[in-house]
Chains A and B, each alone.
Chain A
Amino acid sequence: MEFLRPGSWEEALAAKAEHPEAVPLAGGTDVMVEINFDRRRPDHLLDLNRIGDLYEWETGEDEVRLGASVPYARIMEELRAELPGLALAAHTVGSPQIRNRGSVGGNLGAASPAGDSHPPLLAAGAQVEAESVRGTRLIPAEEFYTGVKRNALAPDELIRAVRIARADGPQQFSKVGTRNAMVIAVCAFSLALHPRSRTVRTGIGSAAPTPVRARAAEDFLAAALEEGGCWESGRPVPPSAARRFAELAAGACNPIDDVRGSARYRRHAVAVMARRTLGWTWDAYRSGGRDSRCA
Protein backbone atom coordinates (compact mmCIF):
# COMPACT_ATOMS: atom_id res chain seq x y z
CA MET A 1 0.00 0.00 0.00
CA GLU A 2 1.13 3.53 -0.69
CA PHE A 3 0.09 6.59 1.26
CA LEU A 4 -0.20 9.56 -1.08
CA ARG A 5 -0.09 12.88 0.69
CA PRO A 6 -0.80 15.71 -1.74
CA GLY A 7 -0.16 19.17 -0.30
CA SER A 8 -2.50 20.99 -2.66
CA TRP A 9 -5.68 20.43 -4.63
CA GLU A 10 -3.74 20.42 -7.93
CA GLU A 11 -1.44 17.73 -6.58
CA ALA A 12 -4.41 15.70 -5.43
CA LEU A 13 -6.01 15.85 -8.89
CA ALA A 14 -2.73 14.86 -10.50
CA ALA A 15 -2.36 11.92 -8.10
CA LYS A 16 -5.93 10.78 -8.80
CA ALA A 17 -5.28 11.00 -12.56
CA GLU A 18 -2.15 8.93 -12.19
CA HIS A 19 -3.78 6.39 -9.84
CA PRO A 20 -7.48 6.32 -10.65
CA GLU A 21 -7.99 3.36 -8.29
CA ALA A 22 -6.56 5.32 -5.33
CA VAL A 23 -9.02 5.61 -2.44
CA PRO A 24 -9.48 9.19 -1.23
CA LEU A 25 -9.26 9.53 2.54
CA ALA A 26 -10.98 12.50 4.20
CA GLY A 27 -12.24 12.00 7.78
CA GLY A 28 -11.69 8.27 7.40
CA THR A 29 -14.87 7.39 9.29
CA ASP A 30 -15.96 5.10 6.47
CA VAL A 31 -12.63 4.17 4.90
CA MET A 32 -10.76 3.28 8.10
CA VAL A 33 -13.51 0.95 9.27
CA GLU A 34 -13.14 -0.97 6.01
CA ILE A 35 -9.37 -1.11 6.33
CA ASN A 36 -9.46 -2.10 10.00
CA PHE A 37 -11.77 -4.98 9.15
CA ASP A 38 -9.80 -6.04 6.12
CA ARG A 39 -12.70 -5.34 3.81
CA ARG A 40 -10.58 -3.09 1.68
CA ARG A 41 -6.91 -3.17 0.75
CA PRO A 42 -6.36 -0.38 -1.76
CA ASP A 43 -2.98 -0.05 -3.43
CA HIS A 44 -3.09 3.67 -2.77
CA LEU A 45 -4.65 5.81 -0.09
CA LEU A 46 -5.01 9.43 -1.13
CA ASP A 47 -4.97 11.56 2.02
CA LEU A 48 -6.93 14.79 1.58
CA ASN A 49 -6.29 16.17 5.09
CA ARG A 50 -3.51 18.47 4.00
CA ILE A 51 -5.62 20.37 1.49
CA GLY A 52 -6.85 23.43 3.35
CA ASP A 53 -9.29 24.48 0.61
CA LEU A 54 -11.43 21.42 1.30
CA TYR A 55 -12.03 22.61 4.89
CA GLU A 56 -13.36 26.04 3.93
CA TRP A 57 -16.67 27.34 2.71
CA GLU A 58 -17.81 30.45 0.92
CA THR A 59 -21.24 31.95 1.49
CA GLY A 60 -22.54 33.70 -1.60
CA GLU A 61 -25.82 35.46 -2.20
CA ASP A 62 -27.67 32.33 -3.32
CA GLU A 63 -25.52 29.40 -2.37
CA VAL A 64 -22.92 28.07 -0.01
CA ARG A 65 -19.90 26.44 -1.59
CA LEU A 66 -19.06 23.90 1.06
CA GLY A 67 -15.58 22.38 0.89
CA ALA A 68 -15.78 18.60 0.61
CA SER A 69 -14.00 17.90 3.92
CA VAL A 70 -15.68 20.45 6.21
CA PRO A 71 -16.57 18.30 9.23
CA TYR A 72 -20.15 17.94 10.45
CA ALA A 73 -19.26 19.64 13.75
CA ARG A 74 -18.55 22.91 11.96
CA ILE A 75 -21.63 22.67 9.75
CA MET A 76 -23.94 22.27 12.74
CA GLU A 77 -22.25 25.09 14.65
CA GLU A 78 -21.54 27.61 11.94
CA LEU A 79 -23.93 27.06 9.03
CA ARG A 80 -27.28 26.74 10.82
CA ALA A 81 -28.74 29.89 9.32
CA GLU A 82 -27.65 29.24 5.74
CA LEU A 83 -28.12 25.46 5.66
CA PRO A 84 -30.63 24.60 8.39
CA GLY A 85 -31.62 21.20 6.98
CA LEU A 86 -28.05 20.04 6.57
CA ALA A 87 -27.10 21.42 10.00
CA LEU A 88 -29.89 19.43 11.64
CA ALA A 89 -28.84 16.30 9.79
CA ALA A 90 -25.18 16.87 10.70
CA HIS A 91 -26.17 16.95 14.36
CA THR A 92 -27.55 13.41 14.12
CA VAL A 93 -24.44 11.84 12.59
CA GLY A 94 -22.66 9.34 14.84
CA SER A 95 -21.14 11.00 17.88
CA PRO A 96 -19.03 14.10 18.60
CA GLN A 97 -15.90 12.14 17.70
CA ILE A 98 -17.39 11.12 14.35
CA ARG A 99 -18.71 14.64 13.67
CA ASN A 100 -15.26 16.10 14.29
CA ARG A 101 -13.89 14.07 11.36
CA GLY A 102 -16.72 12.98 9.06
CA SER A 103 -17.65 15.19 6.12
CA VAL A 104 -20.29 15.69 3.46
CA GLY A 105 -17.68 14.92 0.79
CA GLY A 106 -17.11 11.55 2.47
CA ASN A 107 -20.84 10.93 2.78
CA LEU A 108 -21.20 11.58 -0.96
CA GLY A 109 -18.16 9.44 -1.75
CA ALA A 110 -19.61 6.56 0.22
CA ALA A 111 -23.08 7.19 -1.29
CA SER A 112 -24.83 4.98 1.22
CA PRO A 113 -28.61 5.23 0.86
CA ALA A 114 -28.62 5.83 4.64
CA GLY A 115 -26.21 8.76 4.54
CA ASP A 116 -27.71 11.62 6.53
CA SER A 117 -26.55 14.51 4.38
CA HIS A 118 -28.36 13.30 1.26
CA PRO A 119 -31.98 14.15 2.17
CA PRO A 120 -31.22 17.77 3.11
CA LEU A 121 -29.02 18.23 0.02
CA LEU A 122 -31.89 17.01 -2.15
CA ALA A 123 -34.40 19.20 -0.34
CA ALA A 124 -32.32 22.37 -0.35
CA GLY A 125 -31.11 21.92 -3.91
CA ALA A 126 -27.43 21.09 -4.31
CA GLN A 127 -24.82 20.39 -6.93
CA VAL A 128 -21.71 18.32 -6.45
CA GLU A 129 -18.63 20.06 -7.80
CA ALA A 130 -16.56 17.24 -9.26
CA GLU A 131 -13.13 17.99 -10.60
CA SER A 132 -10.34 16.17 -12.41
CA VAL A 133 -7.31 17.23 -14.40
CA ARG A 134 -9.74 17.28 -17.33
CA GLY A 135 -11.87 19.99 -15.78
CA THR A 136 -14.79 20.73 -13.47
CA ARG A 137 -18.42 19.69 -13.74
CA LEU A 138 -21.46 20.29 -11.58
CA ILE A 139 -23.60 17.23 -10.89
CA PRO A 140 -27.09 17.87 -9.45
CA ALA A 141 -27.51 15.86 -6.25
CA GLU A 142 -30.42 13.90 -7.73
CA GLU A 143 -28.15 12.65 -10.50
CA PHE A 144 -25.22 11.94 -8.24
CA TYR A 145 -26.55 8.79 -6.57
CA THR A 146 -26.53 6.03 -9.15
CA GLY A 147 -27.06 2.91 -7.02
CA VAL A 148 -26.45 1.39 -3.62
CA LYS A 149 -23.09 2.87 -2.57
CA ARG A 150 -22.42 4.02 -6.12
CA ASN A 151 -22.09 7.55 -7.39
CA ALA A 152 -21.57 9.46 -10.62
CA LEU A 153 -17.88 10.27 -10.10
CA ALA A 154 -15.48 9.24 -12.85
CA PRO A 155 -12.43 7.29 -11.65
CA ASP A 156 -10.15 10.30 -11.99
CA GLU A 157 -12.54 12.74 -10.32
CA LEU A 158 -12.58 14.10 -6.78
CA ILE A 159 -15.25 16.13 -5.03
CA ARG A 160 -13.99 19.65 -4.51
CA ALA A 161 -17.12 21.11 -2.91
CA VAL A 162 -20.87 20.94 -2.72
CA ARG A 163 -22.83 23.97 -3.86
CA ILE A 164 -25.94 24.15 -1.75
CA ALA A 165 -28.73 26.68 -2.20
CA ARG A 166 -29.00 29.01 0.80
CA ALA A 167 -32.23 28.50 2.67
CA ASP A 168 -34.96 30.95 1.64
CA GLY A 169 -37.45 29.41 4.08
CA PRO A 170 -37.73 26.92 6.92
CA GLN A 171 -36.14 23.47 6.53
CA GLN A 172 -36.40 20.32 8.60
CA PHE A 173 -34.73 16.94 8.93
CA SER A 174 -36.13 13.91 10.68
CA LYS A 175 -34.54 10.51 11.20
CA VAL A 176 -35.85 7.26 12.62
CA GLY A 177 -33.44 5.20 14.71
CA THR A 178 -33.30 3.21 17.90
CA ARG A 179 -31.60 5.91 19.92
CA ASN A 180 -30.36 9.48 19.70
CA ALA A 181 -26.67 9.04 19.10
CA MET A 182 -24.67 6.68 16.96
CA VAL A 183 -27.46 5.39 14.85
CA ILE A 184 -27.74 4.58 11.17
CA ALA A 185 -31.06 5.86 9.86
CA VAL A 186 -33.83 3.30 9.52
CA CYS A 187 -35.16 5.99 7.26
CA ALA A 188 -34.91 9.76 7.09
CA PHE A 189 -36.82 12.67 5.60
CA SER A 190 -35.97 16.27 4.86
CA LEU A 191 -38.26 19.06 3.78
CA ALA A 192 -37.44 22.55 2.56
CA LEU A 193 -39.95 25.31 1.91
CA HIS A 194 -38.90 27.68 -0.83
CA PRO A 195 -41.22 30.68 -0.45
CA ARG A 196 -39.34 32.68 -3.08
CA SER A 197 -40.24 30.24 -5.85
CA ARG A 198 -43.32 29.00 -3.98
CA THR A 199 -42.09 25.45 -4.20
CA VAL A 200 -41.29 22.75 -1.69
CA ARG A 201 -38.59 20.10 -2.02
CA THR A 202 -38.01 16.84 -0.24
CA GLY A 203 -35.33 14.23 0.29
CA ILE A 204 -35.81 10.68 1.52
CA GLY A 205 -33.01 8.56 2.93
CA SER A 206 -32.70 4.84 3.49
CA ALA A 207 -36.01 3.95 1.87
CA ALA A 208 -34.86 3.15 -1.68
CA PRO A 209 -31.60 1.96 -3.29
CA THR A 210 -30.54 5.60 -3.49
CA PRO A 211 -31.62 8.78 -1.72
CA VAL A 212 -34.62 10.16 -3.64
CA ARG A 213 -36.92 13.14 -3.89
CA ALA A 214 -40.66 12.64 -3.59
CA ARG A 215 -41.49 14.67 -6.66
CA ALA A 216 -45.17 13.85 -6.89
CA ALA A 217 -45.57 14.90 -3.24
CA GLU A 218 -43.67 18.12 -3.89
CA ASP A 219 -45.80 19.02 -6.92
CA PHE A 220 -49.01 18.18 -5.14
CA LEU A 221 -48.16 20.29 -2.09
CA ALA A 222 -46.96 23.26 -4.13
CA ALA A 223 -50.23 23.24 -6.07
CA ALA A 224 -52.30 22.89 -2.90
CA LEU A 225 -50.49 25.79 -1.21
CA GLU A 226 -50.86 27.94 -4.31
CA GLU A 227 -54.54 27.16 -4.71
CA GLY A 228 -55.30 27.88 -1.07
CA GLY A 229 -53.41 31.15 -1.23
CA CYS A 230 -51.44 29.83 1.70
CA TRP A 231 -48.12 31.49 0.88
CA GLU A 232 -49.68 34.99 1.22
CA SER A 233 -52.10 34.29 4.02
CA GLY A 234 -49.89 31.96 6.03
CA ARG A 235 -53.07 29.95 6.56
CA PRO A 236 -52.57 26.42 7.95
CA VAL A 237 -52.13 23.63 5.44
CA PRO A 238 -55.49 21.82 5.18
CA PRO A 239 -55.25 18.44 6.98
CA SER A 240 -56.45 16.61 3.89
CA ALA A 241 -53.60 18.13 1.88
CA ALA A 242 -51.07 17.23 4.56
CA ARG A 243 -52.38 13.67 4.53
CA ARG A 244 -52.16 13.40 0.78
CA PHE A 245 -48.64 14.85 0.84
CA ALA A 246 -47.61 12.17 3.35
CA GLU A 247 -49.14 9.39 1.24
CA LEU A 248 -47.36 10.58 -1.86
CA ALA A 249 -44.06 10.79 0.05
CA ALA A 250 -44.47 7.18 1.18
CA GLY A 251 -45.25 6.30 -2.43
CA ALA A 252 -41.86 7.61 -3.54
CA CYS A 253 -40.15 4.95 -1.41
CA ASN A 254 -38.92 1.65 -2.70
CA PRO A 255 -37.66 0.14 0.53
CA ILE A 256 -36.35 -3.27 1.49
CA ASP A 257 -36.82 -5.42 4.57
CA ASP A 258 -33.60 -5.59 6.56
CA VAL A 259 -32.34 -5.86 10.13
CA ARG A 260 -33.10 -2.22 10.81
CA GLY A 261 -36.71 -2.29 9.69
CA SER A 262 -39.26 -3.75 7.33
CA ALA A 263 -40.25 -2.14 4.06
CA ARG A 264 -43.74 -1.61 5.40
CA TYR A 265 -42.47 0.14 8.51
CA ARG A 266 -40.23 2.38 6.42
CA ARG A 267 -43.12 3.48 4.20
CA HIS A 268 -45.22 4.20 7.24
CA ALA A 269 -42.42 6.11 8.99
CA VAL A 270 -41.70 8.22 5.92
CA ALA A 271 -45.36 9.24 5.78
CA VAL A 272 -45.27 10.22 9.46
CA MET A 273 -42.06 12.19 9.05
CA ALA A 274 -43.42 13.93 5.96
CA ARG A 275 -46.50 15.08 7.83
CA ARG A 276 -44.54 16.18 10.89
CA THR A 277 -41.82 18.05 9.03
CA LEU A 278 -44.53 19.80 7.02
CA GLY A 279 -46.21 20.84 10.27
CA TRP A 280 -42.96 22.13 11.78
CA THR A 281 -41.78 24.02 8.71
CA TRP A 282 -45.17 25.53 7.96
CA ASP A 283 -45.55 26.69 11.57
CA ALA A 284 -42.14 28.32 11.33
CA TYR A 285 -43.14 29.99 8.07
CA ARG A 286 -46.43 31.25 9.52
CA SER A 287 -44.99 32.58 12.73
CA GLY A 288 -43.07 35.22 10.84
CA GLY A 289 -40.29 32.71 10.47
CA ARG A 290 -40.36 33.65 6.84
CA ASP A 291 -36.64 33.97 7.09
CA SER A 292 -34.16 31.18 6.71
CA ARG A 293 -34.17 29.93 10.28
CA CYS A 294 -35.69 26.60 11.18
CA ALA A 295 -38.08 25.65 13.91
Chain B
Amino acid sequence: MRVNFTVNGRPQQADDVWEGESLLYVLRERLGLPGSKNACEQGECGSCTVRLDGLPVCACLVAAGQAEGREVVTVEGLAEHARRRAAGAGTPPEPAGTSLDEARRWTAAPDGTRAAALSPVQQAFVDAGAVQCGFCTPGLLVAADELIERNPEPSDADIREALSGNLCRCTGYETILDAVRLAAARAGEAGPR
Protein backbone atom coordinates (compact mmCIF):
# COMPACT_ATOMS: atom_id res chain seq x y z
CA MET B 1 0.00 0.00 0.00
CA ARG B 2 0.95 3.65 -0.25
CA VAL B 3 1.26 5.92 2.76
CA ASN B 4 1.12 9.70 2.53
CA PHE B 5 2.17 11.67 5.55
CA THR B 6 4.17 14.67 6.68
CA VAL B 7 7.69 14.11 7.88
CA ASN B 8 9.59 16.98 9.47
CA GLY B 9 7.23 19.50 7.97
CA ARG B 10 7.21 18.24 4.37
CA PRO B 11 4.75 15.91 2.66
CA GLN B 12 6.22 12.50 1.89
CA GLN B 13 5.00 9.37 0.21
CA ALA B 14 6.09 5.82 0.85
CA ASP B 15 5.26 3.08 -1.66
CA ASP B 16 5.03 -0.71 -1.50
CA VAL B 17 4.50 -0.56 2.23
CA TRP B 18 3.54 -3.94 3.69
CA GLU B 19 0.33 -3.71 5.73
CA GLY B 20 1.95 -4.97 8.93
CA GLU B 21 4.94 -2.68 8.62
CA SER B 22 5.83 -0.24 11.37
CA LEU B 23 6.28 3.49 10.98
CA LEU B 24 9.86 2.93 12.14
CA TYR B 25 10.59 0.61 9.22
CA VAL B 26 9.09 3.08 6.76
CA LEU B 27 11.16 5.95 8.13
CA ARG B 28 14.41 4.00 8.12
CA GLU B 29 14.16 1.69 5.15
CA ARG B 30 11.81 3.46 2.75
CA LEU B 31 12.50 7.13 3.40
CA GLY B 32 16.18 6.71 4.24
CA LEU B 33 15.96 8.37 7.65
CA PRO B 34 17.99 6.13 9.97
CA GLY B 35 18.09 8.62 12.86
CA SER B 36 15.32 6.83 14.72
CA LYS B 37 16.94 3.67 15.99
CA ASN B 38 15.63 0.15 15.98
CA ALA B 39 16.60 -1.87 19.00
CA CYS B 40 13.81 -3.81 20.67
CA GLU B 41 10.79 -3.43 18.37
CA GLN B 42 8.56 -3.85 21.41
CA GLY B 43 8.23 -0.40 22.91
CA GLU B 44 10.66 -1.04 25.74
CA CYS B 45 13.71 1.04 24.83
CA GLY B 46 12.40 4.27 23.32
CA SER B 47 15.26 4.56 20.84
CA CYS B 48 12.68 4.82 18.04
CA THR B 49 10.82 7.74 19.68
CA VAL B 50 9.30 10.22 17.20
CA ARG B 51 6.52 12.76 17.50
CA LEU B 52 3.21 11.70 15.94
CA ASP B 53 0.87 14.67 15.70
CA GLY B 54 3.01 16.22 18.42
CA LEU B 55 3.04 13.33 20.88
CA PRO B 56 6.13 11.22 21.60
CA VAL B 57 5.45 7.62 20.55
CA CYS B 58 7.42 4.51 19.79
CA ALA B 59 7.58 4.41 15.99
CA CYS B 60 8.07 0.64 16.18
CA LEU B 61 4.53 0.26 17.58
CA VAL B 62 2.72 2.51 15.10
CA ALA B 63 1.51 0.69 12.01
CA ALA B 64 2.64 2.58 8.93
CA GLY B 65 -0.94 2.83 7.72
CA GLN B 66 -1.89 4.60 10.94
CA ALA B 67 0.46 7.45 10.01
CA GLU B 68 -1.57 8.24 6.88
CA GLY B 69 -2.29 11.98 6.82
CA ARG B 70 -0.45 12.57 10.09
CA GLU B 71 2.57 14.65 11.05
CA VAL B 72 5.77 12.99 12.13
CA VAL B 73 8.86 14.72 13.51
CA THR B 74 12.06 12.68 13.67
CA VAL B 75 15.43 13.54 15.17
CA GLU B 76 16.58 14.62 11.71
CA GLY B 77 14.01 17.42 11.79
CA LEU B 78 14.50 18.36 15.41
CA ALA B 79 16.81 21.35 14.83
CA GLU B 80 14.43 22.86 12.31
CA HIS B 81 11.45 22.05 14.55
CA ALA B 82 13.12 23.86 17.46
CA ARG B 83 14.13 26.79 15.25
CA ARG B 84 10.59 27.27 14.05
CA ARG B 85 9.24 26.97 17.55
CA ALA B 86 11.66 29.65 18.74
CA ALA B 87 10.63 31.88 15.83
CA GLY B 88 6.99 31.61 16.91
CA ALA B 89 4.93 28.77 15.62
CA GLY B 90 2.21 31.03 14.18
CA THR B 91 3.48 31.82 10.69
CA PRO B 92 5.86 29.20 9.38
CA PRO B 93 8.62 30.62 7.22
CA GLU B 94 8.70 29.28 3.67
CA PRO B 95 9.77 26.77 2.64
CA ALA B 96 8.68 24.96 5.76
CA GLY B 97 10.32 21.95 7.27
CA THR B 98 13.31 19.82 6.46
CA SER B 99 13.50 18.26 3.02
CA LEU B 100 14.09 14.54 2.75
CA ASP B 101 17.42 15.18 1.12
CA GLU B 102 18.58 17.56 3.82
CA ALA B 103 17.42 15.11 6.47
CA ARG B 104 19.27 12.21 4.87
CA ARG B 105 22.48 14.18 4.62
CA TRP B 106 22.16 15.52 8.15
CA THR B 107 25.41 15.61 10.07
CA ALA B 108 26.30 17.66 13.08
CA ALA B 109 28.42 20.68 12.29
CA PRO B 110 28.51 23.27 15.03
CA ASP B 111 29.42 26.22 12.82
CA GLY B 112 27.75 24.88 9.75
CA THR B 113 24.75 25.84 7.74
CA ARG B 114 21.24 26.15 9.04
CA ALA B 115 20.43 22.56 8.17
CA ALA B 116 23.35 21.28 10.17
CA ALA B 117 22.78 23.49 13.19
CA LEU B 118 21.93 21.74 16.43
CA SER B 119 18.76 22.27 18.37
CA PRO B 120 19.28 23.58 21.92
CA VAL B 121 18.61 20.12 23.34
CA GLN B 122 21.16 18.56 20.99
CA GLN B 123 23.75 21.18 21.89
CA ALA B 124 23.12 20.56 25.59
CA PHE B 125 23.64 16.81 25.14
CA VAL B 126 26.99 17.53 23.51
CA ASP B 127 28.02 20.06 26.16
CA ALA B 128 26.98 17.86 29.09
CA GLY B 129 28.70 14.78 27.71
CA ALA B 130 25.41 12.92 27.60
CA VAL B 131 26.36 10.89 24.53
CA GLN B 132 28.53 7.80 24.66
CA CYS B 133 27.77 5.16 22.03
CA GLY B 134 24.90 7.39 20.90
CA PHE B 135 22.40 4.67 20.14
CA CYS B 136 19.81 5.89 22.63
CA THR B 137 20.44 9.56 21.86
CA PRO B 138 17.94 10.25 19.05
CA GLY B 139 15.03 8.91 21.07
CA LEU B 140 16.11 10.78 24.16
CA LEU B 141 16.49 14.01 22.20
CA VAL B 142 12.97 13.78 20.80
CA ALA B 143 11.53 12.99 24.24
CA ALA B 144 13.56 15.70 26.01
CA ASP B 145 12.73 18.35 23.42
CA GLU B 146 9.03 17.61 23.81
CA LEU B 147 9.30 17.86 27.58
CA ILE B 148 10.89 21.32 27.44
CA GLU B 149 8.35 22.46 24.87
CA ARG B 150 5.51 21.38 27.18
CA ASN B 151 7.13 22.27 30.47
CA PRO B 152 9.88 24.92 30.20
CA GLU B 153 10.89 24.52 33.85
CA PRO B 154 10.82 20.80 34.52
CA SER B 155 11.66 19.49 37.98
CA ASP B 156 13.99 16.51 38.29
CA ALA B 157 10.95 14.32 38.82
CA ASP B 158 9.40 15.69 35.61
CA ILE B 159 12.58 14.91 33.68
CA ARG B 160 12.82 11.40 35.07
CA GLU B 161 9.21 10.75 34.25
CA ALA B 162 9.46 12.15 30.71
CA LEU B 163 12.53 10.01 29.98
CA SER B 164 11.32 6.87 31.76
CA GLY B 165 10.54 5.21 28.43
CA ASN B 166 14.08 5.59 27.11
CA LEU B 167 16.85 3.16 27.99
CA CYS B 168 20.58 3.93 27.88
CA ARG B 169 23.14 1.21 28.36
CA CYS B 170 26.15 3.51 28.60
CA THR B 171 25.81 6.72 30.54
CA GLY B 172 24.12 5.78 33.78
CA TYR B 173 21.67 8.63 32.99
CA GLU B 174 23.26 11.31 35.20
CA THR B 175 24.79 13.22 32.29
CA ILE B 176 21.51 12.90 30.42
CA LEU B 177 19.66 14.53 33.31
CA ASP B 178 22.37 17.24 33.35
CA ALA B 179 21.83 17.84 29.65
CA VAL B 180 18.09 18.29 30.00
CA ARG B 181 18.52 20.64 32.98
CA LEU B 182 21.06 22.60 30.94
CA ALA B 183 18.78 22.84 27.91
CA ALA B 184 15.89 24.00 30.08
CA ALA B 185 18.04 26.56 31.89
CA ARG B 186 19.37 27.98 28.62
CA ALA B 187 15.86 28.19 27.19
CA GLY B 188 14.85 30.08 30.34
CA GLU B 189 17.74 32.54 29.94
CA ALA B 190 16.80 33.11 26.33
CA GLY B 191 13.46 34.41 27.59
CA PRO B 192 9.96 33.05 27.31
CA ARG B 193 9.15 31.52 23.98
Q: When the two chains form their complex, are residues B60 and A95 in contact, meaning their CB atoms are under 8 A apart?
A: no
CA–CA, A273 and B175, complex, Å = 36
Over the window 62-78 of chain B, the binary record of Cβ atoms lying under 8 Å from chain A Cβ atoms (1 yes, 0 no) is 11011010000000000
- Contact B43–A94 (Cβ < 8 Å): yes
Partner among B43, B57, B165 whose Cβ is within 8 Å of the Cβ of A33: B43
The contact of A97 among B1, B18, B49, by CB within 8 Å, is: B49
A95 to chain B, nearest CB (A): 3
Q: Is the CB of A32 within 8 A of B60?
A: yes
Q: Which residues of B contact A45 (CB under 8 A)?
A: 19-20, 63, 65
> By the criterion CB–CB under 8 Å, are B19 and A28 in contact?
no
CB distance from B50 to the nearest CB of A (A): 10
Q: How many residues belonging to B are interface residues under a CB distance threshold of 8 Å?
A: 28
State whether the Cβ of A19 lies closer than 8 Å to any Cβ in chain B: no
CA distance A2 to B44 in the complex (A): 27
CB neighbours of B35 from chain A (8 A): none
A33 touches B61 (CB 8 A): yes
Q: Could you say which residues of chain A place their CB within 8 Å of the CB of B56? A: 96-97, 100
Residue numbers in A under 8 Å from B86 (CB-CB): none
Check B57–A101 contact: CB distance below 8 A. yes
Q: Is the CB of B41 within 8 A of A36?
A: yes
Partner of B143, one of A28, A29, A96, A98: A96
Chain B residues with CB under 8 Å of A27's CB are 61
Q: Please, how many angstroms separate the alpha-carbon atoms of A98 and B19 in the complex?
A: 21
Q: Does the CB pair B22–A49 fall under 8 Å? A: no
Q: Which of A28, A41, A96 contacts B61 (CB 8 A)?
A: A28
Assess whether B46 is interfacial by the CB under 8 Å rule: yes
Q: When the two chains form their complex, are residues B42 and A97 in contact, meaning their CB atoms are under 8 A apart?
A: no
Residues of chain A lying within 8 A (CB to CB) of residue B107: none
Residues of chain A at interface, number, CB under 8 A? 28
Contacts of B61 in A (CB 8 A): 27-29, 32-33, 98, 101
A98 touches B65 (CB 8 A): no
Q: Which residues of B contact A49 (CB under 8 A)?
A: 66
A182 at the interface (CB under 8 A from B): yes
A25:B66 contact, CB within 8 angstroms: yes
| Complex CA distance for A95 and B49, rounded to whole angstroms | 11
Which of A5, A33, A73, A95 gathers the greatest number of chain B CB atoms within 10 Å? Answer: A95
Mask: chain B, 12-30; 1 = CB below 8 Å from A; 0 = not: 0000001110100000000
Partner of B165, one of A2, A5, A47, A182: A182
Q: What are the nearest 6 A-B pairs in CB distance?
A: A95-B165, A181-B164, A1-B19, A3-B19, A36-B41, A32-B61
Q: Which residues of A contact B (CB under 8 A)?
A: 1-3, 5, 25, 27-29, 32-33, 35-37, 41, 45, 47, 49, 73, 94-98, 100-101, 180-182
A-B contact pairs, 25 of them (CB 8 A): A1-B18, A1-B20, A3-B1, A3-B19, A25-B66, A27-B61, A28-B62, A28-B63, A32-B60, A35-B63, A36-B41, A45-B65, A47-B63, A95-B164, A96-B161, A96-B162, A96-B164, A97-B43, A97-B46, A97-B56, A97-B57, A97-B143, A98-B61, A98-B165, A182-B44
